[in-house]
């Protein structure tokens, strides 16, 4: 990597480790940043250099732009990898990096801003000829909005323009309940993302949530790496993801991939990215685009044998894509379970604390992405992800058997985890059929 000799990782936890590993294999030096709560974190131990950027609260450390930029300047890092969450989709941060002549590892600030406005993103999809659901642009007058909702026909869903991941979302079934829901959505959007703007879409009751992984370089080369089925979610938090989708037919898959590439072209996108769709029977609709590496990227890595984080770094170093579309072969089947420090028997309340015993599974086809170790303390300050368990199998039945086997080997003592819940989901006949929708977890937990 001629132009990138040192990268600062503006993140923590398993994803910080994931990025450090990619850098080490590419011969790039790494700088970890950490809060006062993360002095003993593995990302700090694994990086070549480390620097404290503030107190435990994210707002004052992992979201503290001046501290992070200073850390990059002090250590002479030429680039910053934001991981996911925190500053990963903050256009202002990407812009500041550019101004300070630090390469932001991701797309341009302009594209992050455009896709971060979910109403604008819809417009771009339409311009690119990608199907979208019936809906509105950004709208703020409640009565005007109700007229549009009525025209679309209920149920409709109100979404935050600055949202993504379900923040400030409201499903509405009648004219009578619309105004109240609309104003609540505006207030929630304002509180959650600091932007009260919302838009409306026809609500699909039982779709699948399917996303296409793409890679694009700065020279206009674009490839897709197939899809992930992310329909298993609770409160818009993904619990389990797989690739490929078990029930999609090849024509639909090709059409979704073509649509994703059309959108990527339309917005001059480069880096790794994900285009999310809703799939209803054999119709699909653009939902949003994520301009970051995602939590569930390993399932795609397992079925393509392509290291997405390395590719992101190579693209940032102005290299051309090393793969052509015909080089991408989807091989076998991968599943990921997100193991969270939550108690599924007590409405998923967070279960932070000391991990007194930790044993990760192994054997053929098993990958564990974690930054946890025995006697590590899960802090209440950050998200509750303990580990991602990812398995590969020659086919879906083998992957299912393997992930059940691996979950039984996994030992997490001292705190509650979602392992028992995952085992129950994997035993469920509807889940096993592959024929499940976004409604699955609500029904399952009822
Ligand atoms: C939808 C939808 C159905 N219709 N939009 C959830 C998170 C965010 N990325 C968008 N999401 C959805 N948007 C329309 N027009 C369904 C979801 C959705 C979902 C909804 C309810 C319960 C679970 C869900 C899981 C995934 C996606």
Write out pLDDT tens, residues 414-426.
999 999 999 999 9
Instruction: Indicate whether 433 pLDDT > 70.
Output: yes
Instruction: Indicate whether 107 pLDDT > 80.
Output: yes
> By alpha-carbon position, which residue is closest to atom 1 of ligand 1?
203
**Interval between CA 236 and ligand 1 midpoint (Å):** 7
Active site residue 292: yes
CATH architecture group of domain 208-444: 2-Layer Sandwich (3.30)
pLDDT confidence of residue 2: 66
Instruction: Indicate whether 194 pLDDT > 90.
Output: no
Cα 15 to its chain centre, rounded Å, is: 11
CATH architecture group of domain 6-105: 3-Layer(aba) Sandwich (3.40)
Instruction: Indicate whether 350 pLDDT > 90.
Output: yes
DSSP labels, 175-239? STTHHHHHHHHHHHHHHHHS---EEEEEPPSS-EEEEEEEEE-TTS-EEEEEEEEEEEEETTEEE
Q: What is the pLDDT of residues 405-414, one digit of tens each?
A: 999 999 999 9
145 touches 139 (CB < 8 A): yes
Instruction: Indicate whether 96 pLDDT > 80.
Output: yes
Instruction: Indicate whether 88 pLDDT > 90.
Output: yes
Element (H, E) at 32: strand 29-35
**Substitution site in 154, 236, 296 for ligand 1 pocket (most atoms within 8 Å of beta carbon):** 236
pLDDT bracket for residue 193 (50, 70, 90) = confident
Instruction: Indicate whether 3 pLDDT > 90.
Output: no
> By alpha-carbon position, which residue is closest to atom 12 of ligand 1?
166
Q: What is the pLDDT of residues 201-210, one digit of tens each?
A: 999 999 999 9
pLDDT bracket for residue 163 (50, 70, 90) = confident
Domain residue spans of the chain: 6-105, 134-202, 208-444
**Interval between CA 25 and ligand 1 midpoint (Å):** 37
pLDDT averaged over every residue in the chain:
97
- Under CATH, which number does the domain 134-202 receive? 3.30.1490.20
Overall average pLDDT of the 334-344 stretch: 98
**Substitution site in 154, 160, 209, 228 for ligand 1 pocket (most atoms within 8 Å of beta carbon):** 209
User: What are the residue ranges of helices labelled H in 278-395?
Assistant: 297-304, 308-316
Identified catalytic residue from 228, 292, 314, 367:
292
By CB neighbour count within 10 A (0-12 exposed, 13-18 middle, 19+ buried), where does 332 fall?
A: middle
**Interval between CA 201 and ligand 1 midpoint (Å):** 11
- Single pTM value for the model: 0.98
Find out whether the beta carbon of 87 lies less than 6 Å from any atom of ligand 1.
no
- CATH topology agreement for domains 6-105 and 134-202: no
């Amino acid at each position: 990597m001629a132009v990138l000799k040192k990268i600062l990782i503006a993140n923590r936890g398993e994803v910080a480790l994931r990025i450090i590993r990619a850098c080490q294999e590419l011969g790039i030096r790494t700088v970890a940043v950490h809060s006062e709560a993360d002095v003993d974190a593995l990302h700090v131990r694994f990086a070549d250099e480390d620097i404290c950027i503030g107190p435990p609260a994210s707002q004052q450390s992992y979201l503290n732009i001046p501290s992070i930029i200073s850390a990059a300047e002090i250590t002479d890092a030429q680039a910053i990898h934001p991981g996911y969450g925190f500053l990963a989709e903050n256009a202002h941060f990407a812009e500041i990096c550019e101004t300070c002549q630090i390469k932001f590892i991701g797309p341009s600030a302009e594209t992050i801003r455009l896709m971060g406005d979910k109403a604008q993103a819809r417009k771009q999809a339409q311009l690119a000829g990608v199907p979208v659901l019936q809906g509105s642009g950004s709208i703020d007058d409640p009565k005007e909005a109700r007229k549009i909702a009525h025209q679309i026909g209920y149920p409709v869903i109100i979404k935050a323009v600055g949202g993504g991941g379900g923040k400030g979302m409201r499903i509405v079934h009648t004219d009578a309940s619309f105004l109240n829901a609309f104003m609540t959505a505006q207030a929630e959007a304002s509180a959650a993302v600091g932007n009260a703007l919302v838009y409306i879409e026809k609500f699909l009751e039982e779709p699948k949530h399917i996303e296409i992984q793409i890679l694009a370089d700065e020279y206009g080369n674009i490839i897709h790496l197939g899809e992930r089925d992310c329909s298993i979610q609770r409160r818009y938090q993904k619990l389990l993801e797989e690739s490929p989708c078990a029930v999609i037919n090849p024509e639909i898959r090709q059409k979704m991939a073509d649509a994703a590439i059309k959108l990527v072209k339309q917005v001059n996108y480069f880096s790794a990215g994900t285009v999310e769709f809703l799939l209803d029977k054999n119709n699909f609709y653009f939902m949003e685009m994520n301009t970051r590496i995602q939590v569930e990227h390993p399932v795609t890595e397992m079925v393509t044998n392509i290291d997405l984080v390395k590719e992101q770094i190579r693209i940032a170093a102005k290299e051309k894509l090393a793969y052509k579309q015909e080089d991408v072969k989807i091989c076998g089947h991968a599943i990921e379970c997100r193991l969270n420090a939550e108690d599924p028997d007590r409405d998923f309340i967070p279960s932070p604390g000391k991990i007194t015993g930790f044993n990760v599974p192994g054997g053929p086809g098993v990958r564990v992405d974690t930054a946890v170790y025995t006697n590590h303390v899960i802090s209440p300050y950050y998200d509750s992800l303990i580990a991602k368990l990812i398995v590969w199998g020659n086919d879906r039945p083998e992957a299912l058997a393997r992930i059940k086997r691996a979950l039984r080997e996994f030992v997490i003592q001292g705190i509650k985890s979602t392992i028992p819940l995952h085992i129950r989901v994997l035993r469920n006949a509807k889940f096993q059929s592959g024929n499940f929708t976004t409604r699955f977890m609500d029904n399952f937990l009822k």
